[in-house]
Chains A and B, each alone.
Chain A
């Protein structure tokens, strides 16, 4: 799953356009600098492909290591 650094986001929406699962959406909240930022609409559908992180101009999206599923 992705992690968004809200303070770095400038709301360009590139991640929303290229998300293959179409689960990113621009929210109504603004960060400290006045930019809208996206959020995941369905966290379970995220496949951690990293396309949003690749296209993000600011490097605001990171992919942390996948946590091992508890058995």
Chain B
């Protein structure tokens, strides 16, 4: 047995993501967790619109495409009819925090028994780097060419803090993927989310802070420093809500 092996839940071809993109990193750690839990044939991956759709040709297992932002709605229907399956939606920030805001808030408020993994790279990656609701103040995108201005476009939306105020969600956490430590913590959080779901305890939400080297106009290594100095001070990593903290699993 190998010490570390590429997860079997990923296909053998390279991903469709750009070099250095953390979408493939987060997909990899989700696949590792699915493999470790032995849920490869039992899980359903729901992809909405955005760069996360590229998982359609990368994920080895059941996968379902949803309309833009409506992954939590599709997951609700699927999970209610197939309660034994491991269901998770993997959404980007343009998809979840802008167009699908109503669906995520509704699903979280109902405490639906599935997991949402939210990949936050502060931009619309697939359509060419437009401003997303999570874009940082002063960050340059193709639609905020002089940097995001709070007066006209508001402030970056903190989804974890927003969802943690609701009564129903069981687990809400945020981790950054720019260091190996963050990757390991994120993997642990994803595992916890999946375990909560399989125990039927309710809604879990894990936000992963990532990058977009292509649309940020940086090299992959520069994005790591940018995340450390700009993204992480604003979007603070940590556990925001944990209903079953004291319960021993």
Contacts and interface: CB of A to CB of B under 8 A. Distances in A.
Contact of B4 (A11, A18, A53): A53
A59 B17 CA distance: 13
Given A13-B221, A33-B14, A51-B180, A57 B20 contact: yes
Interface in A22-67: 33, 35, 48, 50-51, 53-66
B98 interface: no
Interface residues of A, number: 29
Contacts of A7: 14
B17 A57 contact: yes
B2 A14 contact: no
Interface residues of B, number: 27
Interface secondary structure of A, over-half rule: loop
A18 B224 CA distance: 11
A57 B25 contact: yes
A17 to B, nearest CB: 6
Contacts of A14: 20, 220-221, 224
B22 A57 contact: yes
A56 to B, nearest CB: 8
Interface stretch (B5-13, B37-45, B235-243): B5-13
A71 B218 CA distance: 50
Nearest to A32: B14
Given A55-B25, A58-B24, A10 B19 contact: yes
B1 interface: yes
B167 to A, nearest CB: 36
Interface string B114-152: 000000000000000000000000000000000000000
Contacts of A12: 19-20, 220-221
18 contacts: A5-B6, A12-B20, A13-B220, A14-B220, A18-B179, A18-B180, A51-B180, A56-B25, A57-B15, A57-B17, A57-B20, A57-B28, A58-B15, A58-B24, A62-B2, A62-B4, A62-B6, A66-B3
